[in-house]
Amino acid sequence: MKKILGMFLIIALAFGIVACGDDPVDPIDPVDPDATASISGVVDATIDYGVVFDPFNGVSATDSVDGAIANSNITLTGAVDTSNAGTYTLTYKVTGSDGKEVTATRRITVRTEDGEVPEPTDIVIMHGAPYEVDPFHADFSGTEQAARQALQTEVEDRLNVNVIYRAYPASAAWGPSRITAIINASVAGEPLADLYWTTSDWVQQLADANAIVPVDQYLATTGSNIHSDFRMVGEYANKVYGFGANNLTVDVGLYYNADLVSSLGVDNPSQLYLDGDWNWTGFETWATQVQTALSAQGEDLFALGGAFSAYAESMVALNGGSLINATTGRVSFAQNPALETYTFLSDLNNQGLFEPSGTYDSGSVLWQTGKVAMHPGHLWFVTADNRWGGLAFELGFVPYPVSDTFTGDYVSPISGVAIYNVASGMTAEKEALVFQVWNELQLWKTDAELADEFELTLLTKFDDELYVEAYLDIYDSVYLELINAIGIGAYGETGWRRSINLGIREGTARTEMDRIKPIYETALEDYLN
């Protein structure tokens, strides 16, 4: 069934591609349907070497209220040097009677003296696993391969570029080693690539080292499709450095051994959630019932598994709090909503509901062998070979429970989001081209299309539509959590995760949070400034 749905996912997503040669092509630019001003005649073109080029020839602007707008009121950024073969970017901007700015961008390619189109510009994208994003890779693992191949071919031809995907070197495997490699290459004046695939947690370090550049100047034109979610997670010091395609979705939740739960005769957690009964009281009652049934079967069987911090990170927000509040710029993990959450989890642990040695990610041997009923995790774990893809039992999904007094909308923290960054050290023309190419390589979708696509993705991962229904109820309810982004190692002596795991287990959460709070406040101040 999963294979059939997976095939359906690939073929069901329609796309539209326009093949282009040397003829002018309408550029991809944002259009505000409510704006009174509009610009026409801004099209890509290839021209001969040495000709006289008028950037306003054929270009006009009008306002639905005031009528024609004089060219003198159109702001032009960029220039074309016809004595040098190459590709140039021109951006036109005009303000309408409603005060709204309207922009349009075009690319003009100047042939060589021999009448040839200049050699294509290489655009190098560095990724941890190129087979995930390169549609021409022999082992491509993404979706809509044919659409992506056609789109890349069209973009390469139209913008006269070669898109090259490269893997990070072995010496830059992940984390600190990858950050260091990017920074060192930038300092040496030899960036590893034009675009880096990184995570939002690294933006501060890379930006402070001037290894990446902000892209704010392009967001109204070639970057107009970038969702506010990605602008949020890619922002640092009031500038946007990181970006990604489409929108962000909830990636964490509680997963349970559906076979085991069914055999115990207890309520299904997904149904409890959909019925509105999945609050702290309902969660504790369910876990207690599961533990009672498991204890009757023998030892080393537990209702709950995994690390305490994974529960706390999501459940604090569902008690009206946060760990580090990105809006107010305050360290909040020692405030009452957080402390109440730690106490609740500590009480569950004292009741013997948690396995004694819970671990992260793939989980303990007890979880892996079906002796733990519920475990926190990420959606991608479900089918990953190095996580849960090989589990011998069916996995169910349920969102984290809300506190009994919580009245807000469901929210789920996001951090460490996979993003892209533009490398520093390029000319202004190359930088603009690199950012435009990345944007035009994406299969941008409407919110409705994204929702349908995500539902199809869930259907390929879960065996029961009940789990899918529970996931879809909260799938886009995300907020930015900075706990991992301000430069403090999560598992170090002063790291929040290490400290709260200890505090919940020992019942000393307040003491642990008070101990590390000043350290986080200093780091947050540096981050925000």
445-486 pLDDT, tens per residue?
Answer: 998 999 998 999 999 999 999 999 999 999 999 988 989 888
pLDDT digits (tens, 9 = 90+) for 310-333: 999 999 999 999 999 877 889 999
**Which pLDDT band holds residue 31 (cuts at 50, 70, 90)?**
low
pLDDT over 90 at 499, yes or no: yes
pLDDT over 50 at 19, yes or no: no
The string of DSSP letters for 16-56 reads ------SS-B-------TT-SEEEE---BEEE-TT----TT
Asked if the 119-248+417-452 domain carries CATH number 3.40.190.10, the reply is yes
Phi, psi of 308 (to 5 degrees): -60, -40
State mean pLDDT over 200-215. 95
Composition of the chain by helix, strand, coil, percent to 5 = 35, 20, 45
Q: Give the domain ranges of the chain.
A: 37-110, 119-248+417-452, 252-414+462-528
pLDDT over 60 at 126, yes or no: yes
Q: Which CATH architecture has domain 37-110?
A: Sandwich (2.60)
Higher pLDDT, 170 or 415: 170
pLDDT digits (tens, 9 = 90+) for 42-77: 998 999 999 999 999 999 999 999 999 999 999 998
**Which pLDDT band holds residue 143 (cuts at 50, 70, 90)?**
confident
Amino acid at the residue 78:
G
Whole-number pLDDT of residue 77: 87
The answer to whether the 37-110 and 119-248+417-452 domains have the same CATH topology is no
CA–CA distance from 210 to each of 186, 219, 488 (Å)?
A: 8, 20, 20
Q: What is the dihedral of CA 270, 354, 369, 397, to 10 degrees?
A: 20
In CATH, which of 3.90.1170.50, 3.30.465.10, 3.30.360.10, 3.40.190.10 is domain 252-414+462-528?
Answer: 3.40.190.10
CA–CA distance from 440 to each of 57, 245, 473 (Å)?
A: 26, 10, 31
From 12-21, 23-32, 185-194, 333-342, the region with the lowest mean pLDDT: 12-21
Per the prediction, the chain carries an average pLDDT of 91
pLDDT digits (tens, 9 = 90+) for 404-432: 999 999 999 988 889 999 999 999 989 99
Q: Measuring CA to CA, which residue among 341, 342, 323, 313 is closest to residue 524? A: 323
Whole-number pLDDT of residue 13: 32
Whole-number pLDDT of residue 432: 93
Q: What is the dihedral of CA 137, 142, 143, 147, to 10 degrees?
A: -40
Contact partners, residue 77, CB within 8 Å, separation at least 6: 90, 91, 92, 93
